[in-house]
Amino acid sequence: MLITPRAEEVNQVVAILESGEFSGPEPMAKALIKQIADILSYREWWVLTHRFGNGQVGVNWAPFASQNEALKTAHRIALNGKFSAIKLHSSGALLANLTSSRRKGWCQVDGCGHADWVHLMNGTTRGKCGLESCPCTAYQK
Ligand SMILES: [Zn+2]
Ligand SMILES: [Zn+2]
């Protein structure tokens, strides 16, 4: 999982670290792990699949942060047969779209509901949603 932390993700972790709401390191660690899992659920991931040469289904591995990372790993495994990489769309975004209570600060366009930071910059304002599957053409607060 070769990821580059995004500023918005870092901010959410820093908010916990600086909150002063925790009685010790263990409750803070639990809150951090839950928050980071939530943050990562809003990303898209890749699965590396494998079939043996005779067509028999092999083992699938995940998550990888990119198609490139998945396929590079296939190269390192060096098994006979056929590898492919399959994209996993964000479960966080899916679930956010199913609830009417959208996250504060996230896009209010029907069918979007994604974070402001996944919207592509259009000059100084945020334009269409960067998630391939999303119909949103302009970010709305
Ligand atoms: Zn969207
Ligand atoms: Zn949007």
The verdict on residue 141 lying in a domain is: no
pLDDT tens digits for range 2-43? 999 988 889 889 999 999 999 999 999 999 999 999 889 988
Instruction: Give tens-digit pLDDT for 69-116.
Output: 999 999 998 888 899 999 998 888 777 766 655 666 788 888 888 778
Q: Do 14 and 35 share a structural domain?
A: yes
- Both 30 and 50 in one domain: the answer is no
From the CA of 113, how far away is ligand 2's center (Å)?
6
Q: Is residue 139 part of a domain?
A: no
Average pLDDT value for residue range 38-64: 91
Strands (E), 24-81: 45-51, 61-64
Residues 80, 52 share a domain: yes
> Is residue 1 a part of any domain in this protein?
no
Among candidates 66, 62, 60, which has minimal Cα distance to 79? Answer: 60
Residue 97 lies in a domain: no
Domain count, the chain: 3
Q: SS3 breakdown of the chain: % helix, strand, coil, rounded to 5?
A: 35, 20, 45
In a domain, 2, yes or no: no
**Structural domain boundaries enclosing 36:** 7-41
Nearest ligand by distance to the CA of 135:
1
Spatial neighbors of 44 by CB under 8 A, at least 6 apart, are 87, 88, 89, 90, 131
Please indicate, yes or no, if residue 15 is contained in any of the structural domains: yes
CA of 119 to the centre of ligand 1 (A): 7
Q: Are residues 54 and 77 in the same domain?
A: yes
Kindly state the DSSP code that residue 126 receives in the 8-state scheme: E
Query: Which ligand is the nearest neighbour of the Cα of 106?
Result: 2
- Same structural domain, 36 and 54: no
Q: pTM value?
A: 0.66
Give domain status of residue 56, yes or no.
yes
Taking ligand 1, which is a single-atom ion, which protein residues have CB atoms under 5 Å away?
112, 114, 129, 134, 136
